[in-house]
Structure 1
Amino acid sequence: MRYFGLILIAAACLVPVVWYVPLATSRDPIALFSQYLGSAALVLMGLNQFIATRMPGLETVFGPLDRIYVLHKWLGVIAMVAIGLHDIIDAEMNGLRGGPLAGIAEDIGEISLYGLLILVLASVITFIPYHLWKWSHRLIGIFFALGAFHFFFIEKPFSNAEPLGLYISAFCLLGLVSYAWMSVLRPMAPRGHGYTVASVKHLGGLTEVELTPRGRGLKHKPGQFAFLSVSGSGLSEEHPFTLSGAPRQDRVLRFSIKDLGDYTRRFRDRIEQGMDATVSGPFGHFSMPSGREPQVWVGAGIGITPFLAFAEHLKQRETGQVKLYYCVRERDDIPYAVELEKIAEAVSSLEVIIVNSAEGVRLTPERIAADLGGELARAHVFFCGPVAMRKALKSGLVLKGMRASRFHFEEFEMRTGIGLRRFAAWLWDRGTYAIEKRRASGAHPAE
């Protein structure tokens, strides 16, 4: 996530203060602060709708798309907190300007608040099935439109034609146009690159698909991902997948997709050779550095996919020594071991190491540091796999002398929570501990 983009967002929220502060001399400052919170929430939601469009140039300002998804989530959460405080803190004051629709706008604001609250909670409660979440997520724009209506017509200490009114209105319009583009115009407009499914292979729990372009095709870098949709058979919904093949001159693409949910199960059962597909992208900045410094690649399970492209690309470029740790849970769960070992035979700089947890072997920071033989401070580490494993390896390697900026990863999950499950677990543990402590002291829990 780029600091420049975060600074722009913070500045956009703070600009209204320039106009709100002079109003505080003649208005109730508490009520005025409540109105500022409502205005800031509309700015954040308007920007959030725009960020969701995946427009070209967004990655330049805000960082790779995987980080933009994280930003999108937190902007929504912060906006929801601001709206909630706006509703709780009394914003009423005397002598406000309104119109005939002010009463209706007040009621619509309440509908917008509770609708957004429900949908934002549905977005961060990750056990809700993906297809239900995605369907409900599309409704956020409708409730944002209701919030914009509330702003346009509610009684407030300034008019829509004044600088402050025009400023907030601009972000409302940005959000409404972005929502209209995503929900109505974009599905109707030609997008992406047309492909044909050339081959389908089932490798254990993986479905490997090769696509041949019907036109000029997509140009990508090793490690990037793209959005894939397949015509017919309930597979037309776009989903992001890592491109597991290195770039080719003929622009043929390979995806390796693991059966992890409803869509990927349908994909495995219904994908057939000859189907038409659309690929949009590429996205992401998960790419190898230039230079001869040592590199460590850690691919856990399906997290091996970007490193398949990395390894294949080594045939076309020189690099320092590369150690690839392929972490699996059982011997049968390594469909690409043979392919990687063949590449390692042809590329002297690549060493492939299978780490099989079923055999009691674990990848630890100590092992990586020892295998590098004192080169850890110079090395770049690339990781793709479970979040818990990533955090453990990164913290351990940093303690052993690696610079944090040299640990590269992408947010493997596009949809993440905000720690509600961990908070619930913490409350449960605290409650259980208190009960056990009371029992140990001889007191009854209900006393």
Structure 2
Amino acid sequence: MSEILTPVLPESVADATVATWNKKVGDAVKQDEILVEIETDKVMLEVTAPVDGVLSEILQPEGATVTSSQLLGRVTAGAAAAVAPAAPAPASVPAASSAAEAPASPAVRKMMDEANLSRADVDGSGKNGRILKEDVAATTAKAAPAPVTAAPAPVAPAPVAPKAVAGSREETRVPMTRLRARIAERLLEAKQSTAMLTTFNEVNMKPLMDMRNEYKDAFEKKHNTRLGFMSLFVKAATIALQRFPEINASIDGNDIIYRNYCDIGIAVSSDRGLVVPVLRSAEEMGLADIEAAITAYAKKAQAGKLDMSDLSGGSFTITNGGVFGSLLSTPILNPPQSAILGMHSIQKRPMVDANDNIVVLPMMYIALSYDHRIVDGKGAVTFLKTIKELVENPVRILLDV
């Protein structure tokens, strides 16, 4: 008998919750087949069958809180074959088939068809079990009263339906998932433990859009990935972070930790909630590498396949509410980071150009929320202005000027 154990949880995760058992006791399982899903406050962990056999015992039901290496259940190895013979249904087939093949004349078969009866429904009283007209009539007479008495039953629940249609005032209470509880905890922590402030600017997206439209096909053909706006904002952010190191720093007690690398967290929406996978050393990545990594993270997030290593760390975060239509927002910090960049939807607006002419341009509001304990207003505003200048002149991103 093999044991099913909770995976070893990271140091930052004290316990987890049994989310879903994909098998029931007595079900046959195959080695490496997913038996149970464990939910932590960051990711979903899949526990697979250690051997071929039968799930013989479940010790921790759905909703139970478990710790590292805790016993979840047991699999009886090699017992799958014992389950298979438990299907003696074919033994009843000969009896049914013999009844179905009971002799009947064409007239009797017509009566049976009109009464919606099969030969197995009628007991033949004739020679060798032959079905007679009287047998069909008797069976029909027995069955006839049933629909009459059964008919009123479905009518009883009918008065309930109008309440649902009219709009009931029902309430449904469901437990908060670990991820949602953790998100709530961290957002509240950010509001209570930081001196958070937000500054705004707006970006003319036309130069970036023109460059993308010109080179997107060639880019995709060469790198096998689409050219989006996020990769260019990531590169602009890494350049700006290296110029303003306090934005890339964090507070640890009475110390400030400065980093010479840029681990950029990209906020990704999933069915379970908001997750922030991290691009490690993004300053060394090319645009194609960034786009491919973001696409891979998005797919893993939707499938619930993100690992703890994908989400840990991060020195700066970028979130794009524009994909949902947000025009302007104040993003909340992702502790212990000291800043977060918010992108928004692109909208055409009348703007005044350098020659004082009014032109229609695709504009995006960008926002930088920052911890005022470590970042001064001048640094935050200048950092955001640098992002604006780099995006409005994409060549500067490539030349780092």
State the TM bucket, normalised to the shorter chain: under 0.3
Q: Which of the pair is proportionally richer in strand?
A: 2
More helix by share: 1
Q: TM-score, normalised by structure 1?
A: 0.22
What TM-score, normalized by structure 2, do the two folds share? 0.24
Which structure is higher in RCO with an 8 Å CA cutoff and minimum separation 6? 2
